[in-house]
């Protein structure tokens, strides 16, 4: 079994001043079974269901698999399943690379996130909402499970914050309130809702017009040219943009962040 130690949701490359940092988001599979129930082996073995809600920590969300129980969505929850898809027939868990599974996942999960959050791509990219994805655990894979699960989450730095609204569109109209606006915190520039302590705030986003993926160096140059003019702190700013997988899926937004003293 290939070990999926990486994490992806919106694959982005980030920079602060002249330093580029690559990053992404997390993943985890969880399932629920009825006591004493026997499920047939196959690709849908212990498959989760769209609309299920769960609570788990950010560290648990960084794992490939876990057994977080389903809870009532009427109670506080940090995650709601927005998509469940199947590993493509031409891939096998034992031989598939992380990038292959990531791309297959993103083709199903990205549209689900768009539908759940609503609004424009720029507004979505400037929000603290994102998603995490999960593969079956080893025992489930031994029973033939081939599903991939995607949950929408709200980031809070090293924490996951309770989701504020389950119905679409989850995002209010811009300008986004602090509770869902995207800020960055810590040395790793982790995404967080701006209602929490942070160092940078998403200030302005714009659509990249390149006909093909520009590459990291060119994206860096675009950021250096445009972001200082769009932020309130032109000598201390940050930027994020789509990575290769995001670009293949149609993502085109670069976000510029102003420095905050809090």
pLDDT per position as a tens digit, 77-105? 999 999 999 999 999 999 999 999 999 99
Q: Is the Cβ–Cβ distance between 151 and 166 less than 8 Å?
A: no
Coil, strand or helix at 125: helix
> How many CB atoms lie under 10 A from the CB of residue 227?
22
Closest CA to 256 of 187, 192, 188, 183: 183
Place of tokens 């932020």: 231
Give the dihedral sign, CA 89/93/94/96: positive
* pLDDT at residue number 18: 27
* pLDDT at residue number 59: 87
> How many CB atoms lie under 10 A from the CB of residue 190?
17
Closest CA to 175 of 231, 255, 119: 119
Mean pLDDT by 10 residues, the chain (262 residues): 36 30 34 60 96 94 87 98 97 95 94 97 97 95 96 96 98 95 96 97 97 95 97 96 93 96 60
* pLDDT at residue number 145: 98
Closest CA to 185 of 253, 128, 117: 128
- Quote the pTM value: 0.84
- Let me know if 226 is exposed, middle or buried by CB neighbors in 10 A (0-12, 13-18, 19+): middle
Cis omega (within 30 of 0) on the bond before 104?
A: no
* pLDDT at residue number 123: 97
> How many CB atoms lie under 10 A from the CB of residue 71?
15
DSSP for 36-86, written as a single string: T--PPPSTTTT---TT-EE---TTGGGSS---PPEE-TTS--SEEEEEEEE
Radius of gyration of the chain (CA): 19
């Amino acid at each position: 079994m290939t070990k999926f130690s990486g994490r992806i949701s919106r694959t982005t490359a980030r920079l602060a001043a002249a330093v580029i940092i690559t990053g992404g988001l997390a993943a985890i599979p969880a399932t629920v079974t009825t006591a004493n129930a026997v499920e047939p082996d196959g690709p849908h073995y212990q498959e989760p269901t769209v609309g299920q809600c769960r609570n788990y920590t950010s560290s648990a969300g960084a794992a490939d698999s876990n057994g977080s129980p389903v809870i009532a969505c009427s109670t506080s929850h940090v995650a709601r399943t927005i998509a469940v898809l199947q590993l493509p027939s031409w891939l096998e868990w034992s031989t598939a690379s992380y990038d292959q599974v990531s791309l297959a996942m993103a083709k199903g999960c990205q549209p689900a996130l768009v539908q759940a959050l609503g609004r424009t791509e720029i507004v979505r990219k400037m929000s603290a909402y994102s998603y995490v994805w999960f593969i079956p655990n080893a025992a489930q894979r031994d029973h033939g499970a081939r599903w991939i699960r995607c949950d929408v989450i709200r980031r809070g730095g090293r924490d996951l914050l309770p989701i504020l609204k389950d119905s679409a569109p989850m995002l209010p109209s811009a300008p986004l309130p602090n509770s869902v606006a995207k800020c960055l915190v810590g040395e790793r520039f982790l995404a967080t809702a701006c209602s929490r302590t942070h160092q940078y705030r998403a200030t302005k986003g714009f659509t990249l017009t390149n006909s093909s993926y520009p590459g990291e160096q060119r994206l860096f140059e675009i950021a250096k040219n445009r972001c200082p003019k769009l932020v309130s702190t032109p000598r201390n700013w940050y930027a994020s943009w789509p990575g290769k997988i995001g670009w293949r899926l149609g993502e085109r937004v670069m976000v510029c962040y102003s420095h905050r003293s809090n």
